[in-house]
Amino acid sequence: MAGVSLGGLSSGLDTQSIIDQLMAIDRAPETRMKLQQSALQARQQTLTDIGTRLRNLSDTVKDLGSTVTWANTQTLEVSDSTKLNATRLSGAAPGGHEIAVTSLARSEQRSYAYTASDSTLTIGSAHIALSATDDGNAAADKINSNADSPVYAVFVQDPLGDTTKDRLVLTRKDTGAFNETDMAVSGADWTSTEAYTAGVNAKFTVDGGTQQESRSNVVKSAVPGLQLTFKSTGTTSVTVSAPAPDQAAISDKVKAFVDQYNSTIDFIRTELTEKRVPNPTTDTDARKGPLFGDPQLTGLLSQLRSAMSDKTGVGGAITSLADIGVSTGTGSGGAASADSVAGKLTLDADKLADALTDNRLDVKSFLTDTTKGISAKLTGLLAPVAKASTGLIDVRANEAGSESSDIDDQIQALEDRLAQRQERLQAQFTAMEQALAQSQSQGSWLTAQLG
């Protein structure tokens, strides 16, 4: 009879309600464990988020001292980009150059009065099979789809409908002047109607020198280290700057550091000040304040704040972040803002630009020195805490995750015991109801016999 419940038919008791209330008492530890697990999961997630932000901050710190950030570059200025484009291929001699383009390179063309026929058309090394059913457009498609074809083909029809003026036009894929016989077209009767237009080389001078020619409008030999792309004829000046680090790129790296620093400490400070809910009864309450007053994170914020104002020991005109315009904004004697009190940084872009202009080498040493530079100092501070997997933050997050998994196992074991407990209670109450039913039946029989 296991699993059968008579529901108080004999006793008049709501046995299911009694069982549910008894089980609720037995399930109280599970509720506490689930709330504890929610708190651990919130702790793990928050620590994971902090670890990600600290690693992002570490990346921006490394960028400040990166050789790529401080690599010398050259800028190009073109006086008229409608006539010419310039691209730096390698180190080019600094200075200005005057490029005078007298003609642009163009491809040779051959046009034909096309007539359909069964034939094998030969264009250079390409062989294209044509049939008597191919009109001009079909012939052009076959020529264009042949991988060996040295030309582009297009069938041009007379706008007034005079088919005698329709032409199949073949344009060489390469620009420039070639011998007319370099690309012979043969194999069909209509090739005898050829009209030929020779290709033209680009012609130009550099700084008033001798005229130069190129089969292409893209020229790498005009100015060593530059690639010039001719777009129209005329005279254009190209100016190459002296090799130097890209100040705009450096400024962007400093700004990225300030933004990430502020975002990181703001997030950590918010988590440190969110209070826990004593004796939580809901999942939402259990997840609040997982890192309230955390001593490790409090110490980390203190160390970061000190690093922002400390002098690095690097010699020269730049010895602190304030010298390049990065500060908490409280050094002028004015009233401190809420952000400055919280340790958030501000960036004076004009001061940074002046420092890069007037003391570029000192700024570089301050940021990149491998022992005393701010990049090395902050990297050394962040690495033990923020390193993926083995850093203190990730280790603590993993510990919280492990504790949460252990509670999962405990909850499952408790669920198994509760299921067995519920089965026993149902069996006991069912047995009671059966016994009462039997007793009541016997009583009724005796009453009937006595009557």
Give the separation between CA 263 and CA 250, rounded to whole angstroms. Answer: 20
| Local structure of residue 275 (DSSP, 8 states) | P
* Residue 319 structural domain: 29-70+246-402
- What pLDDT shows up at residue 6? 46
Query: Could you tell me if residue 63 is inside a domain?
Result: yes
pLDDT tens over the chain, length 451 residues: 344 444 555 566 677 787 778 777 777 677 888 888 999 999 999 999 999 999 999 999 999 999 889 988 878 899 999 999 999 888 788 889 999 999 999 999 999 999 999 999 999 889 999 999 999 999 999 999 999 999 999 999 999 988 889 999 999 999 999 998 888 899 999 999 999 999 999 999 999 999 999 999 999 989 988 999 999 999 999 999 888 888 999 999 999 999 999 999 999 999 999 999 999 989 999 999 999 999 999 999 999 999 998 887 788 899 999 999 999 875 545 556 777 778 899 999 999 999 999 999 999 999 999 989 999 999 999 999 999 989 999 999 999 999 988 888 787 877 778 788 778 877 777 777 777 777 877 877 788 778 6
Q: Same structural domain for residues 232 and 84?
A: yes
Q: What is the dihedral of CA 124, 129, 133, 137, to 10 degrees?
A: -40
Query: Could you tell me if residue 408 is inside a domain?
Result: no
Residue where a domain terminates, one of 167, 197, 227: 197
- What pLDDT shows up at residue 2? 43
Q: Same structural domain for residues 39 and 115?
A: no
Beta-bridge mates of residue 169: 111, 154
Q: Same structural domain for residues 382 and 314?
A: yes
Question: Can you tell me which residue has the tokens 């062989």?
Answer: 127
Q: Same structural domain for residues 33 and 145?
A: no
Q: What is the dihedral of CA 254, 258, 263, 264, to 10 degrees?
A: 90
Q: Same structural domain for residues 206 and 191?
A: no
Cα distances from 331 to residues 204, 296, 341, in angstroms, run 59, 28, 12
Q: Same structural domain for residues 267 and 303?
A: yes
- What pLDDT shows up at residue 3? 45
Strand (E) or helix (H) holding 195: strand 195-197
| Local structure of residue 29 (DSSP, 8 states) | H
Query: Could you tell me if residue 289 is inside a domain?
Result: yes
Query: Could you tell me if residue 251 is inside a domain?
Result: yes
Q: Same structural domain for residues 175 and 229?
A: no
Q: Same structural domain for residues 252 and 325?
A: yes
Residues 128, 149: contact at Cβ < 8 Å? yes
Q: Same structural domain for residues 212 and 284?
A: no
- What pLDDT shows up at residue 1? 39
With CA atoms as reference, report the closest residue to 139 among 125, 164, 156: 156
Q: Same structural domain for residues 113 and 209?
A: no
Question: Can you tell me which residue has the tokens 């254009």?
Answer: 236
Q: Same structural domain for residues 297 and 370?
A: yes
Contacts of 99 (CB under 8 A, 6+ apart): 84, 204, 205, 206, 222, 223, 228, 235, 236, 237, 238
Query: Could you tell me if residue 407 is inside a domain?
Result: no
Coil, strand or helix at 261: helix
pTM of the full structure: 0.64
Task: For 241-305, list the strands marked E by DSSP.
Answer: 244-245
- What pLDDT shows up at residue 232? 96
Beta-bridge mates of residue 106: 200
Give the separation between CA 11 and CA 22, rounded to whole angstroms. Answer: 18
Query: Could you tell me if residue 225 is inside a domain?
Result: yes
Query: Could you tell me if residue 422 is inside a domain?
Result: no
Query: Could you tell me if residue 13 is inside a domain?
Result: no
- What pLDDT shows up at residue 333? 52
**Number of structural domains found in the chain:** 3
| Local structure of residue 149 (DSSP, 8 states) | -
As given in the structure block, the two tokens for residue 318 are 């730049």
- What pLDDT shows up at residue 330? 59
Contacts of 158 (CB under 8 A, 6+ apart): 164, 165, 166
Long-range contacts of 345-350 (CB under 8 A, 24+ apart): 345/258, 345/261, 345/262, 345/308, 345/321, 346/258, 347/254, 347/255, 347/258, 349/251, 349/255, 349/325, 350/325
Q: Same structural domain for residues 395 and 313?
A: yes
